[in-house]
Structures are given as C-alpha cells and as structure tokens.
Amino acid sequence: MAYDLYVTAPDHPRPAEALTAFADTVNRGAVPGAADPDNPPADRRLRITAYPVAPSDGVLTVAVPYQGATETLNSLQNDAARRTVRLTDIGGRVLVETAGGDSPFRMRDRAGTVHTFVDATTVRRVLAEADGWRPAGMVLSVSPADDPTGANYLRVGIVNRRWTVHLRTGETVRQLADLLDRAETAATVVDSYLAGDVAALEQLSWADISMGMVADTTNRWRLDDSAGGLTVTSEAEVREAVTAGFAGGSTGDLDWLQVSDQTNPGDYITADRHLGTQWCVMWGHGYGEERYWRAVVDSPAAALDLLLAWTETPEETFLAARDWELVVDE
C-alpha cells in the first residue's frame, strides 16, 4: 500500500521554482522504498517509492510506501508548509492548505490538514465546524511556524462534549482547569495566543498536567481508517468512537480500521477486511514491524468486539482469552 501525494503550488508567486526547490529537498532527504527500511542512511529522513522526483506540468508527485508513511508524511507536511506549497493526497484530501497565504503560526486540524495561514477567522471556522456534533478528541492545534516539530502549542479539544484547552511551553503542559461550554470562549483563548498576549493567558486558571504530574487522557486513542478518516478520542469515549467509526455511517465500504494508543506509541490494533466476509485482526507493539498477533474472524461484529476489548482489557488477559497466532517478521 502506498500514499500518492500530489504537491502543487498554484498560489505561490513562482510555482515552478517552488516545486523545483521542494523536489530538491525531497531528493536530498529520500530513502528509496527499495532500500533497507530498518537501516536508512543517517542523513535521510524521507521514505519514498520512486526516486528521484521531479515536477511535471506544475505538479510534483511523491509516492510514499505504507511502511513508515506517518513519519514521511509529517516531514513532507512540514517542508511544504515552510515553502507555502499546497500538498494533497491521491484522494484529493488537502494535507497542507496555503490558500490564505502565510503567517507566523501553523495550525493542524483534526483531519490532519496543516494550515499555513492562521488568524481569528480561520480558528473560528474550524471550531464552528466541530461545534455542531462535538467529536471527542483534538479539534485544532496551533504552533509557532518557526517550531515545525509542534513541541510548543496551544491545543483545543473536546471531552465529554465540552471544550478543553491545553498549552505547552517547553516541558510544561497546562490545561484549563475548567471545561468550556462555548466554542467562542475557546476561540478567545486562541486569539490571545496568536496575539502573543501572555498576560491574558496567565490570567486564566490552569492545571499543570506535565509528564509525571497528571495523566492526560483526553486524546489517548487515535482512529485511522481506509477512507482517510482520522479521529482522536478520550478514554471515556473510545467505545462510542470505535463503534461509530467501524459500524456507523458509510463504513460498510471500509477495508480497515486501526486504533492506536497514543500514551504508548506503537501499540495498536487493526481490523482488515479479509477474503470478502471475513476480517483479519492484528495487534501488537511497534506497529507490528517485528512481530504481531493475528486472528481471523467471520463477521464485522466479531472484529468490532476485538477492537473494543483491546482498548478495555489488560494485555495479558486479552492475549490469554483468545486463540492468537504470533507472526514474526524475519
């Protein structure tokens, strides 16, 4: 499986030059897909399938192999945002949005889109879109543009259908002591952050949730699916989110759904359509790159039961209660 990414620069003042520069960056940092994925050169950080890449007719296509796609996609998004180059995937989903121009901040929304232009209007539009149904988990995260890693940020999310705000500076992570009822109140906090109004932020009541202080479980679980959907949810609402994601709406067309534990990076479970009506369920650590456990079940309901049980059951109990096959990647 691969993600085909289409890098375009229609709003850039010199699109041809922008794409050529972006292609040079990709080629300098690329590890071809055929190379040993576990032993890339130390100075290479992008894993791509075709190499080298070059723009053609105003479009630069970069094919990314499934293995290691998350890290490569994040790097490509950061590079595109710094150059205000629009980045979309093969399905037309926008990964970097540059239509508004550029600003000192970057914003990532719950769909994974990076916005290079962030102002009060942009923030309120994203919050308004989520306000009607209030999905659990992160709604948007704003970071300084000169900190592409996102180590420092203001993050707005939803827990128990109310708004929560997190602020990270260095190693300190703080959360508004009270949940908010209105999206406009959360937007006002973001306004202060964008304006650099430290005094206004300090006047708010914060609780320290830094590492070793209080466990932050409001965005523990991440759900990805084959339709390009992304959901981040809390411990309290993970059952509802997984059930809705796997069995609700248009998900009859899904080929797979994966749940990842963000408090233990690399811990995951995936239900993958198998031989028509069957489902193959795989789970483990390190995203299964070295070994994972596998079971084939006969119905979507059985696959859903395993997905839910994995989020609620201690690992030893989960493993012992079922007949799992251990698969080792040699």
pLDDT beyond 70 at 248: no
Which candidate, 25, 172, 189, places its Cα nearest to that of 123? 189
Supply the DSSP symbol for 56: B
All structural domains of the chain with their residue ranges = 13-30+48-99, 101-211, 221-328
* pLDDT higher at 133 or 259: 259
Q: What is the pLDDT of residues 6-64, one digit of tens each?
A: 999 988 889 999 999 999 999 988 887 755 656 666 667 788 888 899 999 899 999 98
Tell me the one-letter amino acid at 319.
Answer: L
Structure token digits, residue 260: 């990842």
pLDDT beyond 80 at 251: no
CA distance 196 to 198: 6
Backbone angles phi, psi at 108, to 5 degrees: -115, 130
pLDDT confidence of residue 138: 79
Q: What is the DSSP string of 153-211?
A: EEEEEEETTEEEEEEEETTEEEEESS-BS-HHHHHHHHHHHHTT-HHHHHTS-EEE--T
Cβ atoms of 72 and 31 within 8 Å: the answer is: no
In terms of phi and psi (left: phi > 0; alpha: psi -120 to 50; beta: otherwise), the region of 212 is left
CA distance 83 to 223: 30
Per cent of the chain over pLDDT 70 is 88
Question: With 0-12 CB in 10 A as exposed, 13-18 as middle and 19+ as buried, what is 56?
Answer: exposed
pLDDT beyond 60 at 284: yes
pLDDT beyond 80 at 254: no
Q: What is the DSSP string of 69-121?
A: HHHHHHHHHHHHHHTT-EEEETT--EEEE-TT---SEEEEETT-PEES---HH
Tell me the one-letter amino acid at 218.
Answer: T
Which candidate, 49, 84, 88, 83, places its Cα nearest to that of 65? 49
pLDDT confidence of residue 191: 97
Q: Write the CA distances from 298 to 220, 272, 281, 305, integer angstroms.
A: 29, 12, 11, 12
Q: Look at the alpha carbons of 216, 127, 90, 223 in this order and tell me if their dihedral is positive or negative.
A: positive
Please state, rounded to an integer, the average pLDDT across all residues of the chain: 84
Per cent of the chain over pLDDT 90 is 37
pLDDT confidence of residue 187: 97
Give the least confident one: 97-101, 117-121, 247-251.
Answer: 247-251
Highest mean pLDDT among 168-172, 233-237, 243-247: 168-172
Q: Write the CA distances from 267 to 239, 264, 282, integer angstroms.
A: 17, 6, 11
pLDDT confidence of residue 214: 44
Q: Write the CA distances from 182 to 123, 139, 163, integer angstroms.
A: 14, 14, 7
Torsion angle of the four alpha carbons 49, 53, 58, 64, in this order, in degrees rounded to the nearest 10: 20
pLDDT beyond 70 at 211: no
Cβ atoms of 224 and 93 within 8 Å: the answer is: no
pLDDT beyond 80 at 98: yes
212 pLDDT band, cuts 50/70/90, is very low
Q: What is the pLDDT of residues 121-177, one digit of tens each?
A: 999 999 999 898 887 777 899 999 988 667 789 999 887 788 989 998 887 888 898
Q: What is the pLDDT of residues 302-321, one digit of tens each?
A: 999 999 999 998 888 898 88
